[in-house]
Amino acid sequence: MSAPQQSKSSNPLNEALRASRYLLVVAFAFSVFVNFLMLTGPLFMLQVYDRVLGSRSEETLVALLALVLFLFGLMWLLDFARTRLIGRFGARLQMRLDGRVFRSQLQRADRMPNGASPSRDLETLQAFYASPALTAMMDAPFTPLFVAVMFIFHPLLGWFAVVAALVLVAITLLNQVLTAHRLYEAQQTVEIGHRFADNARRAREIIRSQGMLGPVTERFLARRIGALTRSMEAIDLTGAFSTFTKVFRLALQSMVLAVGAWLVLGGEITAGAMIAGSILLGRALAPIEQLIGRWTQITRARQARRALSTFLAEAPDAMVRTRLPRPEGRLDVTEVTYAPVPGKPPILAKISFSVEPGEALGVIGRSGSGKTSIAKTILGLLPPTLGEVRLGGALIDHYSAEDLGAHVGYLPQDPMLITGTISENIARMSLEPDSAKVVEAAQKAKAHELILSLPEGYDSRVEDNEIALSGGQRQRIALARALYGDPVLLVLDEPNSALDHEGSDALNKAIRTMKAEGRSVIVMTHRPVAISECDRLMVVDQGQVKAIGPRDEIVKSMMKNASDVRRVIGGAAGS
């Protein structure tokens, strides 16, 4: 059942924006003073032409100059403070949401649309709030102030400014209509290129070994050229509007100067008013010009805000759970059905089984039969559509993600290691790894000697191919990570896929130790050697339980090569 849609007022993004909006309020208050102080230049020009030159008073000139320099210094301080406040607003927004967005991305990665990157959307939004675009938006409401002053000088100058402003506003709206879709298409095309490059980088070994480098490069270049083409189309269009606006504003200033000169010749205004009117018009139209020039950034910020708001609304923060005591290793799965797409056959259908403390259950079946989905359901990664999963008598939903992870060890099919040291990986990226437990887990996985042979031992870093680890070595380190912290339940998904004989022996020994200590183990596999320590077997096919019972009985009744399987099991158990 889907989570209820949050109201707009309770959206986490809106809450984060409201939490620091006082910074924007203060910044806008500073904008009021800054824009009033913008009148300093035109008024000084007016006084110099009409008063100083007429009276030829040097004392008046010095006094006016001192006052103007003081006002310009004050304007600089206020404008600088406004810029700092706006920048800190964006930084606080990112600080408040970074952790939540990152956690939600990890939790909902399989349900996010291709190319979606909420973290990148947050960065885009933060960059917008720290950019001059927001300053221009704060200055735009004061355009009528400068126009009003021009009306004071002469109505004709005022109406000229009104018409000029309306023309620029029309250009802004036309820019929005013509470029919004192109900018969106360009951004989507760029994202497609990034996804293809990421996918090719992950498959680099296959590409190089199978002679695919040339075709893959050509396909990459085709996507890049398409992205560049659409980006250039959008840039050309926005650039046309931006450059036209800039030249048009300069032309308007010359035109208003000509109008002012005509009025001076007619004796209707003074020369000072003519010069001041030209400066005021440039100042009145400057915010509109800046908005048009930064329209691409504004559009991207608006798209990022919409996408981020939707993402956060659909990914409510996890509720704080009452911390439960450490459970015993009893797992109960009851009538679990998982159907990710309504109306289509479920991946899992009415799966029921239990594992007692000190017992190992082997889940066998063909590839695609549902073994990995069962493992992910046990781990809480796939929420059941129907049914329930309990660990130690409590629903796994009643454990926080951190507590459940501490109680359950998991070895996935792909033993991916995270950027960091070997020690940090085994300690599950703990900020304060317990060195004794790290070494103990590595020894249980028979990875201790392997790790010591690395250049920096446990402090060797796993990133950017600084150290070359084989699949089997990575799987042993991942096994040590699964065993770290003495979990009560160990879930192994195809654990022998890359292990050699020594690694398989370490795996079987670890399973025996877990059973002896009263913990439970579940092994998902189709390899006979992996079930040598299992007490019971469960056969799954097409997401359903076909049989479950003691290991030898299931082997005898379900497998055609039962004698070969028993011989392998016997050999592995005796090793």
Closest among 534, 527, 526, 571 to 551, alpha carbons compared:
534
Considering the chain, what percentage of its residues have pLDDT values greater than 70? Answer: 89
Q: Place 108 in a pLDDT band, splitting at 50, 70 and 90.
A: low
Question: Which of these ranges, 60-69, 147-156, 559-568, has the smallest mean pLDDT?
Answer: 559-568
Q: Report the alpha-carbon distance of residue 110 to residue 487 in Å, rounded.
A: 26
pTM over 0.85: no
Q: Report the alpha-carbon distance of residue 554 to residue 323 in Å, rounded.
A: 39
Q: Report the alpha-carbon distance of residue 438 to residue 459 in Å, rounded.
A: 12
Q: Report the alpha-carbon distance of residue 135 to residue 416 in Å, rounded.
A: 45
pLDDT tens for each residue of 289-316:
788 778 778 888 888 888 888 888 776 6
* Chain mean pLDDT for the chain: 81
User: Is a pLDDT exceeding 50 seen at residue 465?
Assistant: no
User: So what's the pLDDT on residue 8?
Assistant: 43
Q: Place 396 in a pLDDT band, splitting at 50, 70 and 90.
A: confident
| Residues in Cβ contact with 433 at an 8 Å cutoff, skipping those fewer than 6 apart | 423, 424, 426, 427
User: Is a pLDDT exceeding 50 seen at residue 130?
Assistant: yes
Q: Report the alpha-carbon distance of residue 423 to residue 434 in Å, rounded.
A: 9
How far apart, in Å, do the first and last CA atoms of the chain sit?
49
Mean pLDDT value of segment 460-468: 67
Q: Place 114 in a pLDDT band, splitting at 50, 70 and 90.
A: low
User: So what's the pLDDT on residue 5?
Assistant: 41
| Residues in Cβ contact with 394 at an 8 Å cutoff, skipping those fewer than 6 apart | 324, 327
Q: Report the alpha-carbon distance of residue 254 to residue 256 in Å, rounded.
A: 6
State the DSSP string of 533-552.
T-SEEEEEETTEEEEEEEHH
Question: Strand 386-391 vs strand 331-338: parallel, antiparallel, or unpaired?
Answer: antiparallel
Mean pLDDT value of segment 140-157: 87
Q: Report the alpha-carbon distance of residue 416 to residue 421 in Å, rounded.
A: 13
Q: Place 136 in a pLDDT band, splitting at 50, 70 and 90.
A: confident
Q: Report the alpha-carbon distance of residue 247 to residue 9 in Å, rounded.
A: 43
User: Is a pLDDT exceeding 50 seen at residue 1?
Assistant: no
Quick one: 486 exposed, middle or buried, by C-beta within 10 A (0-12, 13-18, 19+)? middle
- 172-176 contacts at long range (C-beta below 8 A, 24 or more positions apart): 172/288, 172/291, 172/292, 172/295, 174/241, 175/238, 175/241, 175/292, 175/295, 176/295, 176/299
The tokens of 234 are what?
């959008």
User: So what's the pLDDT on residue 567?
Assistant: 52
User: Is a pLDDT exceeding 80 seen at residue 226?
Assistant: no
User: So what's the pLDDT on residue 531?
Assistant: 80
User: So what's the pLDDT on residue 2?
Assistant: 36
Q: Place 528 in a pLDDT band, splitting at 50, 70 and 90.
A: low
User: So what's the pLDDT on residue 4?
Assistant: 36
Helix intervals (H) in 385-500: 401-407, 422-426, 435-444, 448-452, 471-483
331-574, CATH topology level: Rossmann fold (3.40.50)
User: Is a pLDDT exceeding 60 seen at residue 466?
Assistant: no
User: So what's the pLDDT on residue 115?
Assistant: 53
Q: Report the alpha-carbon distance of residue 25 to residue 132 in Å, rounded.
A: 17
Q: Report the alpha-carbon distance of residue 489 to residue 520 in Å, rounded.
A: 5
Closest among 404, 438, 407, 436 to 421, alpha carbons compared:
438
- What angle in degrees, to the nearest 10, is found between the helix axes of 435-444 and 471-483? 120
Q: Place 498 in a pLDDT band, splitting at 50, 70 and 90.
A: low
Mean pLDDT value of segment 89-101: 85
Q: Report the alpha-carbon distance of residue 13 to residue 252 in Å, rounded.
A: 41
User: So what's the pLDDT on residue 326?
Assistant: 86
Q: Which CATH entry fits the domain spanning 142-293: 3.10.20.340, 3.30.420.40, 1.20.1560.10, 2.40.40.20?
A: 1.20.1560.10
Q: Domain segments of the chain: what residues?
A: 1-131, 142-293, 331-574
Name the residue with tokens 């909420």. 118
User: So what's the pLDDT on residue 319?
Assistant: 62
User: So what's the pLDDT on residue 110?
Assistant: 60
User: So what's the pLDDT on residue 209?
Assistant: 56
| Residues in Cβ contact with 431 at an 8 Å cutoff, skipping those fewer than 6 apart | none
The tokens of 92 are what?
């606080």
* 117 backbone dihedrals φ, ψ, rounded to 5°: -145, 85
Q: Report the alpha-carbon distance of residue 473 to residue 500 in Å, rounded.
A: 9
| Residues in Cβ contact with 92 at an 8 Å cutoff, skipping those fewer than 6 apart | 19, 20, 23
